């Protein structure tokens, strides 16, 4: 870790220059600073900002402050009751200690666990554009099968963001140019030729809130995370499903995947297969196949394609049962 300046932000109108970083829970930032992957000359602690509340919105949704801790959000009564998928996704992530520190904004912006990104002795296009990508022919069991490019195949590791994708959350940000709202669906970028740019946020922009739209009555949701061990591990494949069933037919469904994509992966292809169709296994399997149609396996991660399909099918069976 290199020496840095530490300040505390007192208002949301903070101006950042590119060598600075916001500090929320610190579970990603400080970790990467210890590895010298992040080397900010100064860190602006935002923990004093009044962004730590979960409030109802006028249209029946929920407004989640950027500093709401993952544990608090997971255990919030409204979230548990209505946005089950989000509570489950949060509780499947990291460990209790980490969740007690991790914040909503920080979780959205957490960085990949790619081994090569996290070690400055390797080339990495995400860290140093143009330097190369050792994951392509390296040990890539944990890497992405969806959305990768020859420049980068790192997964976005968040569970929370996958659930929020399926919930069609909206990110609220504030920067030098004012406030704006970004649908989470448009928030993340695939690596393409610019893997260093993971999302549309400007370097000086602060995430203030995330809003969750109201869910229609009778909507059910579930998050299923598959991995080597039962707890405290990132997903090899996960599925978030939010569904509204009418009679025996699926009226509306949102499906997102974790652990397999270079960003939290919304699958409109899978949704299209299901909407208006009866909720039964054949259709779930067709949806799963559609979701993974474009998947590209690397040397060690081909099994993730089948695993993701299994996650989708099982989650759909569970929420529609």
Partner 1 sequence: MAISPIIGSAVTRVDGKLKVTGGAQYAVDHPIEGVAYGAPVASTIGSGRIANIDLSVAEAMPGVLGILYHGNCGPVYRTAGPFERNSIVSEGRPPFEDNKVYYYGQYVALVVADTFERALDAAAHVKVDYETAKPVTRMSEVTTPLGPAHRSYSRGDAETAFKNAPVKTDEVYTTPTETHNPMEMHATIAVWKGNHVTLYETTQGVVNMQGVVSQMLGVPLDNVHIVSPFVGSGFGGKLFPWPNTILAAMAARKLGRPVKVTVPRSLMFTTVGHRPITEQHIRLGATQDGKLQAVIHEVKNPTSLLSDYMENATGSTPVMYSCPNVKTAQWVVRLNIGSPMAMRGPGACPGMYGLDSALDDLAIKLNMDPLEIRLKNYAERDESSGKPFSSKHLRECYTKGAERIGWSKRTPGVGSMRDGNEIVGLGVGTAIWGAYRGGAHARVRLSADGRARVSSATQDIGTGTYTVMALIVADKTGLPVERIDSVLGDSSLPPGPMSGGSTATATIVPAVAAASVKVIGQMLDLASRTNGSPYKGVDAQTLAMTNGRVHKQGEAPESGIPFEKLLEMQQIAALEAEAQTGGAPDADNYSMHCFGAHFVEVGWDPGIARLRVRKTVTVMDAGRIISEKSARNQILGAVVMGIGMGMFEDTYYDPRNAKPLNNNFADYIVATNADIPEQEVIFLDYPDPVIGEYGARGIGEIGLVGVAPALTMAVYHATGVRVRNLPVRIEQLMKA
Ligand X SMILES: Cc1cc2nc3c(=O)[nH]c(=O)nc-3n(C[C@H](O)[C@H](O)[C@H](O)COP(=O)(O)OP(=O)(O)OC[C@H]3O[C@@H](n4cnc5c(N)ncnc54)[C@H](O)[C@@H]3O)c2cc1C
Residue ranges binding partner 1 (CB under 8 A): 1-3, 36, 113, 115, 119, 121, 134, 138-139, 224, 226, 228-234, 236, 302-303, 306-307, 310-311, 313-314
For partner 1, give the closer residue by CB, 63 or 304: 304
> In the bound complex, what is the minimum distance in angstroms from residue 111's beta carbon to partner 1?
13
For ligand X, give the closer residue by CB, 146 or 160: 160
Verify binding: residue 195, ligand X, rule CB under 6 A.
no
Verify binding: residue 9, ligand X, rule CB under 6 A.
no
Verify binding: residue 207, ligand X, rule CB under 6 A.
yes
Helix or strand (DSSP H, E) at 310:
helix 303-320
319 neighbors 243 (Cβ within 8 angstroms): yes
Residue of 110, 190, 221, 315 that binds ligand X (CB under 6 A):
110
Residue 206: contacted member of partner 1, ligand X, none (CB under 5 to 8 Å, by partner type): ligand X
> In the bound complex, what is the minimum distance in angstroms from residue 112's beta carbon to ligand X?
10
168 neighbors 185 (Cβ within 8 angstroms): yes
Beta-carbon contacts of residue 271 (< 8 Å; ≥ 6 apart): 253, 254, 255, 287
Length of the chain: 321
Beta-carbon contacts of residue 111 (< 8 Å; ≥ 6 apart): 28, 32, 37, 117, 198
Residue of 33, 68, 94, 305 that binds ligand X (CB under 6 A):
94
Helix or strand (DSSP H, E) at 180:
strand 178-183
> In the bound complex, what is the minimum distance in angstroms from residue 142's beta carbon to partner 1?
8
> In the bound complex, what is the minimum distance in angstroms from residue 95's beta carbon to partner 1?
9
Exposed/middle/buried for 216, CB within 10 Å: 0-12, 13-18, 19+? Answer: exposed
Restricting to residues 150-169, which ones interact with ligand X according to CB under 6 A?
Answer: 157-160
For partner 1, give the closer residue by CB, 113 or 251: 113
Residue 115: contacted member of ligand X, partner 1, none (CB under 5 to 8 Å, by partner type): partner 1
Residue 230: contacted member of partner 1, ligand X, none (CB under 5 to 8 Å, by partner type): partner 1
| Chain Cα centroid distance, residue 162 | 5
Binding part of the chain for ligand X, among 91-99, 191-199, 261-269, 287-295 by CB under 6 A, reads 91-99
**Strand order through the sheet with 5-8:** 5-8, 42-45, 20-23
- Report the alpha-carbon distance of residue 292 to residue 305 in Å, rounded: 6
Verify binding: residue 289, ligand X, rule CB under 6 A.
no
Residue 101: contacted member of ligand X, partner 1, none (CB under 5 to 8 Å, by partner type): ligand X
Label residues 30-54 b or e (16+ Cβ within 10 Å = b): eebbeeebbebeebbebeebebbeb
- Report the alpha-carbon distance of residue 71 to residue 75 in Å, rounded: 6
For partner 1, give the closer residue by CB, 102 or 307: 307
174 neighbors 205 (Cβ within 8 angstroms): yes
| 267: nearest Cα among 246, 286, 245, 247 | 286
For partner 1, give the closer residue by CB, 207 or 313: 313
Residue of 65, 106, 134, 264 that binds ligand X (CB under 6 A):
106
For ligand X, give the closer residue by CB, 44 or 250: 44
231 neighbors 133 (Cβ within 8 angstroms): no
- Bridge partners, residue 62, by sequence: 56, 212
For ligand X, give the closer residue by CB, 66 or 298: 66
By the criterion CB under 6 A, which residues form the site for ligand X? 21-29, 31, 46, 66, 70, 93-94, 98, 101-103, 105-107, 109-110, 157-160, 206-207, 234
């Amino acid at each position: 870790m290199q020496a840095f300046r530490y300040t505390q932000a007192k208002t949301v109108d903070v101006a950042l220059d590119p060598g600075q970083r916001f500090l929320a829970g610190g579970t990603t930032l400080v970790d990467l600073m210890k590895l010298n992957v992040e080397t900010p000359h100064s860190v602006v602690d935002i923990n004093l900002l009044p962004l730590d509340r979960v409030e109802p919105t006028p249209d029946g949704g929920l407004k989640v402050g950027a500093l709401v801790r993952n544990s608090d959000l997971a255990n919030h009564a409204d979230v548990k009751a209505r946005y089950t998928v989000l509570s489950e996704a949060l509780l499947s992530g990291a460990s209790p200690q980490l969740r007690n520190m991790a914040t909503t904004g920080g979780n959205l912006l957490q960085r990949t666990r790619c081994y090569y990104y996290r070690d400055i002795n390797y080339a990495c296009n995400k860290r140093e554009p143009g330097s190369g990508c050792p994951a392509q022919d390296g040990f890539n069991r944990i890497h992405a099968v969806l959305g990768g490019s020859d420049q980068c195949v790192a997964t976005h590791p968040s569970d929370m963001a996958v659930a929020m994708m399926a919930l069609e959350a909206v990110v609220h940000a504030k920067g030098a140019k004012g406030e704006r709202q970004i649908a989470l669906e448009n928030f993340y970028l695939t690596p393409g030729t610019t893997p260093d740019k993971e999302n549309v946020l400007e370097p000086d922009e602060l995430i203030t809130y995330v809003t969750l739209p109201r869910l229609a009555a009778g909507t059910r949701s579930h998050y299923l995370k598959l991995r080597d061990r039962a707890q405290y591990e990132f997903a090899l494949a996960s599925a978030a499903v939010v569904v509204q069933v009418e009679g025996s037919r699926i009226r509306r469904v949102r499906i997102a995947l974790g652990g397999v994509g270079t960003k939290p992966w919304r699958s409109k292809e899978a949704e299209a297969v299901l909407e208006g169709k009866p909720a039964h296994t054949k259709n779930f399997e067709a949806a799963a196949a559609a979701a993974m149609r474009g998947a590209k396996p690397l040397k060690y991660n081909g099994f993730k394609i089948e695993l993701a399909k299994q996650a989708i099918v099982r989650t759909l069976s569970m929420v529609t049962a």
